[in-house]
Amino acid sequence: MSQPPQSYRELEILITAEYATLSKRLQQTARFMLDHPQEVALATVAKIAEQADVTPSTLIRLANSLGFKGFSEMQQLFRSRLVDELPNYTERIRAVRSATGETPDSTQLLWEFADANRAVLEQLPSRINPESLEKALDIFEKAHAIHVMGARRSFMVASYMTYALAHVDKPALLVNGLGGMYGEQLRAMSQHDALLTISFSPYAEESQKACEDAHQRGLPIVVITDSNLSPLARFADVVFVVNEAEVKSFRSLTASLCLTQTLAIALGVRQDKTRDKEKGHDKKRKA
Amino acid sequence: MSQPPQSYRELEILITAEYATLSKRLQQTARFMLDHPQEVALATVAKIAEQADVTPSTLIRLANSLGFKGFSEMQQLFRSRLVDELPNYTERIRAVRSATGETPDSTQLLWEFADANRAVLEQLPSRINPESLEKALDIFEKAHAIHVMGARRSFMVASYMTYALAHVDKPALLVNGLGGMYGEQLRAMSQHDALLTISFSPYAEESQKACEDAHQRGLPIVVITDSNLSPLARFADVVFVVNEAEVKSFRSLTASLCLTQTLAIALGVRQDKTRDKEKGHDKKRKA
DNA sequence: AGTTGATTGGAATAAATATTCCATTTATAC
DNA sequence: GTATAAATGGAATATTTATTCCAATCAACT
């Protein structure tokens, strides 16, 4: 056997290429390694062998057959790969400054907010049902106009969504209660419109009322909220349950913002596609 | 020494608490460990000791003094932490689903937004000057009221900040141009107030005007913008330059939101501390 | 300055881990 | 079915790594 692989990626490629020529036990071992790279990076030969249901010498024999001088040499590739996956060094610098008291409390707080918001963004896409996204987009695409409702803290998301929809050429109206006129604004909803409501516990009464009204009039409703048990949920055609970051009892709106961005832009993309298809159809007629 | 720490976080806390009582060499060792957790997770005692410029037995002595039965037991916490830092498995699942065509475009787009927003949040704290944060907080703390100005897209951040400030009992007024009355709203600023303006390229004219007016009246101004060359920057006492996520030419506001959250809550914390000190002073008088 | 206690570093020892070797088993070819 | 080659597993061996021990040094106290 010649020069061993120099990176995890090269190793993967080599194993894939040589797999068919490996014996049954070596195949089993190779498969385990690729399936559990983190384990291979950190555990001992004995431990890995135990988990892979092979003997330690099998692991070593495999490594040798792949061109390495022993298992440890191969393990280094797994370790390098593991290190390559780690978050960036700014976080370490931060830990040091924090421990030595160089960092003011306000910057500590900024780190906390940044971390907390990052964490919810990491979880968000796997918590949103893809079918719900598609269904909400169906609703918005069909609607002549979208009325966006959000009170108090949620007003921020509602205003952003109204702005974003306008930028993808979807008529959008912000239900803002100007002059105390929530009721009047909602009465302007036509039967071809849809309502998007953003509301979190303790659920503004105006938002609940808006959903009730729209529901009675048979309008499609999309709700962004924090629980499937939210009082708004039972009126909704689509419910997005969103978890928001919380620091010092103060809740953020980063996840909702990200979700509304997605809804607006995805809608824009859809509309572009629909227009493109219609243009293509016209060409056929002319041809 | 009692029960050892059960997590890396606990270990950090313990080291910080005990640091002053450690000998010089143990302090040096502890500092190295917190500075290089990845190295500590993966390398041998001998290697780590060499890099830390201490002897192997020093490392072991430190571990024992922290309650561990040897270095290896402590190293496990570093390894667990390292594993905890690895990207979430949902990202691997996502890659698989994307490759197999199971994921609709809208969910792909949600991933893109989530990723892009996470990236800017990761960078944000190291790009904000801690002194600027403290200075802005000084300004806000002294101000009788804070006027918050943001037009169009930025309106969202301004409305959120106004909400947040109200929740830490800081008088805040949203300059929203209701009825076209930006000028009138700004004239309501008293000389004891401060102005916070959020504005990004192409810089709403109203926002620029607001800064000019406040500047001419000698009011302190805090600006959140996207460049030190922003036309608002020259009027400002404090400038926060914030990089926002951009997906399909559409810009987010996640970083600005995170920053305003921090400003509001940090101000709240400060005010609480100031009130606590005044209470403490009263006790002295009574005693 | 002398004494006592704490800390330190490095050699010796213990423990853990990786690897080699080879008898046995399995697979392949004739 | 027999002979040969390849694969396997586990005990023995080698190597690496962690830990202990203690003489020397340093710091604190009287």
Q: Convert the pLDDT of each residue in B225-261 to its tens digit.
A: 987 667 888 889 998 989 888 887 788 999 999 999 9
Give the type of residue at B173.
L
Q: Answer yes or no: is pLDDT of A284 > 50.
A: no
Nearest by CB to residue B122, choosing from A118, A252, A257, is A118
Split at pLDDT 50, 70, 90, the class of B35 is confident
Provide the pLDDT for residue B94.
58
For B41-84, give the DSSP string.
Answer: HHS-HHHHHHHHTS-HHHHHHHHHHTT-SSHHHHHHHHHHHHHH
Q: Where does residue A257 rank: exposed (0-12), middle (13-18), buried (19+ CB within 10 A)?
A: buried
What Cα–Cα distance (Å) separates residue B250 from each residue in A264, B203, B236? 10, 16, 27
Provide the pLDDT for residue A91.
56
Boundaries of every domain in chain B: 8-84, 89-122, 126-278
Is the CB of A57 inside 8 Å of chain B's CB atoms? Answer: no
> Closest nucleotide to A68's CA, by C1' atom?
C19
B79 touches strand C (CB under 7 A): no
How far apart CA B81 and CA B75 sit, in angstroms, is: 10
Task: Check residues A287 and A92 and name the one with the higher pLDDT.
Answer: A92
Q: Convert the pLDDT of each residue in A5-39 to its tens digit.
A: 888 878 888 888 888 888 889 988 998 898 888 88
Provide the pLDDT for residue B262.
94
How high does pLDDT run on average in chain B? 85
Provide the pLDDT for residue A85.
62
Q: Convert the pLDDT of each residue in B11-21 to its tens digit.
A: 988 888 888 88
Q: Considering chain B, what percentage of its residues have pLDDT values greater than 90?
A: 42
- ipTM for the assembly: 0.57
How far apart CA B98 and CA A52 sit, in angstroms, is: 29
Select from B89, B56, B100, B101 the least CA-distant residue to B75: B56
Q: Considering chain B, what percentage of its residues have pLDDT values greater than 70?
A: 88
> Could A254 and B259 be called an inter-chain contact, meaning their C-beta atoms sit closer than 8 Å?
no
Is the CB of A90 inside 8 Å of chain B's CB atoms? Answer: yes
Architecture of domain B8-84: Orthogonal Bundle (1.10)
What Cα–Cα distance (Å) separates residue A257 from each residue in A157, A166, A203, B252, B253? 6, 16, 18, 8, 8
Nearest by CB to residue B254, choosing from A104, A117, A134, is A117
> Closest nucleotide to B27's CA, by C1' atom?
C7
Q: Which numeric CATH code is attached to B126-278?
A: 3.40.50.10490
Q: Convert the pLDDT of each residue in B61-74 to its tens digit.
A: 999 999 998 999 99
Give the type of residue at A26.
L
Nearest by CB to residue A114, choosing from B83, B87, B258, is B258
Select from A158, A136, A157, A140 the least CA-distant residue to A149: A158
Q: Convert the pLDDT of each residue in A142-166 to its tens digit.
A: 999 999 999 888 999 999 999 999 9
Split at pLDDT 50, 70, 90, the class of B222 is very high
> Could B114 and A107 be called an inter-chain contact, meaning their C-beta atoms sit closer than 8 Å?
no
**E strands present in chain B:** 146-150, 172-175, 194-198, 221-225, 238-241, 246-247, 250-251
Q: Considering chain A, what percentage of its residues have pLDDT values greater than 90?
A: 44
Q: Considering chain A, what percentage of its residues have pLDDT values greater than 70?
A: 88
- Report the distance from CA of residue A57 to the C1' of nucleotide D10 in Å, as an integer: 9
Tokens matching residue B58: 């020093």
Tokens matching residue B133: 């944060």
How far apart CA B191 and CA B193 sit, in angstroms, is: 5
CATH of A121-281, one of 3.40.50.10490, 3.40.605.10, 3.40.50.300, 3.90.76.10: 3.40.50.10490
> Could B253 and A160 be called an inter-chain contact, meaning their C-beta atoms sit closer than 8 Å?
yes
Split at pLDDT 50, 70, 90, the class of A198 is very high
A197-210: average pLDDT: 87
Provide the pLDDT for residue B285.
33
Show residues of chain B in contact with A153, CB under 8 Å: 160, 163
- Report the distance from CA of residue A44 to the C1' of nucleotide C15 in Å, as an integer: 14
- Report the distance from CA of residue A7 to the C1' of nucleotide C14 in Å, as an integer: 36
Split at pLDDT 50, 70, 90, the class of B95 is low
* CB < 8 Å from B in window 205-264 of A: 247-248, 250, 252-254, 257-259, 261-262, 264
Split at pLDDT 50, 70, 90, the class of B83 is confident
How high does pLDDT run on average in chain A? 85
Split at pLDDT 50, 70, 90, the class of A102 is low
A57 touches strand C (CB under 7 A): yes
Q: Where does residue A174 rank: exposed (0-12), middle (13-18), buried (19+ CB within 10 A)?
A: buried
Provide the pLDDT for residue A1.
44
Nearest by CB to residue B257, choosing from A38, A105, A253, is A253
Q: Answer yes or no: is pLDDT of B92 > 80.
A: no
Nearest CA distance, A96 vs chain B (angstrom): 6
Q: Answer yes or no: is pLDDT of B287 > 50.
A: no
Q: Answer yes or no: is pLDDT of B93 > 60.
A: no
A63 touches strand C (CB under 7 A): yes
> Could B167 and A250 be called an inter-chain contact, meaning their C-beta atoms sit closer than 8 Å?
yes
